[in-house]
Amino acid sequence: MRIANDIENSIRRIRKELYGHPEPALEERWTTDFILAECRRIGLEILPLKSKTGVLARLRSGGNRAVMLRADIDAVALEHPLRQPFGKAAHRCGHDMHTAALLGAAETLAACRLKYDVYFLFQPAEEGLKGASHLLCRGLRTAADKPLVAVFGIHNRPDIASGDIVAQIGPRMAGKTCFRMTVQGRTGHGGEPHKCRDPIVCAAQIVTAAQTIVSRGIAPLDACVFSFCSINGGSETNLAPESVNMTGSIRAFDDGLRGFALRRLTELSEGIAAAMGCTVRVQRTLDNPSVLNPDCLQGCAHAAALAAAEAYGRRVLDGVAPALGSEDFSLYGELAPVYYYWVGSGRPDGAPNPPWHDPKFCADEGFMSVAAALYAEAALAAMKLL
């Protein structure tokens, strides 16, 4: 299907508003109020969630089963806040366009004669991978009161031509394990290092040794990314600090690899710390599974992709490698089988486009009409599962 002109105009208006009011994870209060107003304008029923941010709306049509469509609504938090209107966040991952597209799909489906309900989930806090579990623990399990046959999600891809669709089975996004590490030493004067147990030197050795976990502990064909993302310790120029704190993440498509890598990090760190007269504590702070598209949804999901792509003269691509970025979309798998699309947001002329979170990230607006059509087609195709 092709989105009606008046709805396309509405999508562009919504995106402009959202882009100008970016809010970071779990602070999306203006965004939530705006989405609620748009859902009521369309005529959707608002369902209760015990969360200050995020929206669950329903298009009630009948039947005893339902489909859910999900979009993320948060902006990327900035290390160095910008001047207004952006402040401490900016839409550098395209979630404003995801939200606009899902509202466009809702308006499109509201004009259709459906024989089942469609839920529209506007999720907060995808950045940081906290939003899905946040909503599941705050009423989502019971608010969606009809059994779901599928949950569909979409994310833009700036390295794929605008409007092209990826609908493939298997891994799409990597699972992610986050960790926090504290290296405890013994402080002392910088001029008497032999009387100290310097945790900075110990932490440096751990960072270096940890690089061998992937290069020498994991098979070369098994994708895994190991990252230290922060190191904090010390404040003076004439002493060794008492401790150093570090954070990092491990990403892999095979969830077992992440467990192995964290165990090896703990073993290496404890051995290095003991050899240097320090101690270390490694804590797992987040564990999020991979996003895997199942065989059972491929038929209807691919049919929906073909219908949306054909309506806009775009392609359905095959053989697109998965991304080692992470998503919390897989957690909705406890509600129903989940399926995750990519829709290209790259420049139509094929020129290189900055990636997600880059300060120069600029998604092509042509993404939104195709994504809205794909959301709607996915809901319609799922009728075959009902």
Q: Are residues 163 and 46 in the same domain?
A: yes
CA angle 331, 337, 338 (to 5 degrees): 60
Whether residues 186 and 131 fall in one domain:
no
Find the domain containing 165 and state its range.
5-169+294-385
Same domain, 207 and 139: no
Residue 357: its pLDDT value, please? 94
Task: Please report, in tens digits, the pLDDT of each residue of the chain (386 residues total).
Answer: 999 999 999 999 999 999 999 999 999 999 999 999 999 999 999 999 999 999 999 999 988 999 999 999 999 999 777 665 568 899 999 999 999 999 999 999 999 989 999 999 999 999 999 999 999 999 999 999 899 999 999 999 999 999 999 999 999 999 999 999 999 999 998 889 899 999 999 999 999 999 999 999 999 999 999 999 999 999 888 889 999 999 999 999 998 999 999 999 999 999 999 999 999 999 999 999 999 999 999 999 999 999 999 999 999 999 999 999 999 999 999 999 999 999 999 988 777 789 999 999 999 999 999 999 999 999 999 988 87
Residue 70 pairs with which residues in a beta bridge? 121, 153
85 and 161 belong to one structural domain: yes
Which of 288, 315, 331 is a domain's end point?
A: 288
Query: What is the pLDDT at residue 12?
Result: 98
Contacting residues for 75 by C-beta, under 8 A, at least 6 apart: 22, 23, 24, 89, 90, 91, 92, 93, 95, 96, 127
CATH assignment of the domain containing 59: 3.40.630.10
Last residue of a domain, one of 250, 272, 288: 288
Shared domain check, 161 and 17: yes
Q: Do residues 163 and 273 both lie within one domain? A: no
Angle between helices 366-381 and 95-110 (to 10 degrees): 50
Residue 86 is predicted with a pLDDT of: 64
Do 250 and 364 belong to one domain?
Answer: no
* pTM (2 d.p.): 0.94
- Residues 26, 158, single domain; the answer is yes
Would you state the pLDDT for residue 238? 86
Residue 211 near residue 221, CB atoms below 8 Å: no
Judgement on whether residues 54 and 201 belong to the same structural domain of the protein: no
Residue written as token pair 């401790």: 243
- Distance (Å) of CA 23 to CA 72, 88, 109, 133, 172: 12, 8, 28, 19, 26
Of 243, 258, 288, which closes a domain? 288
Same domain? For 81 and 96 the reply is yes
Given this model, what pLDDT does residue 236 score?
81
pLDDT at 190: 86
Q: Are residues 19 and 142 in the same domain?
A: yes
Q: d(Cα 295, Cα 282) in Å, to the nearest integer?
A: 37
Q: What is the pLDDT of residue 350?
A: 73
- Can you give the pLDDT at residue 84? 57
Q: Which pLDDT belongs to residue 79?
A: 79
Find the CATH number of the domain harbouring 205: 3.30.70.360
Cross-strand partners of 281: 182
Structurally, the chain folds into a number of domains equal to 2
183 class by beta-carbon count within 10 Å (0-12 exposed, 13-18 middle, 19+ buried) = buried
Same domain, 272 and 343: no
Question: Under a CB-based contact definition with an 8 Å cutoff, are residues 207 and 228 in contact?
Answer: yes
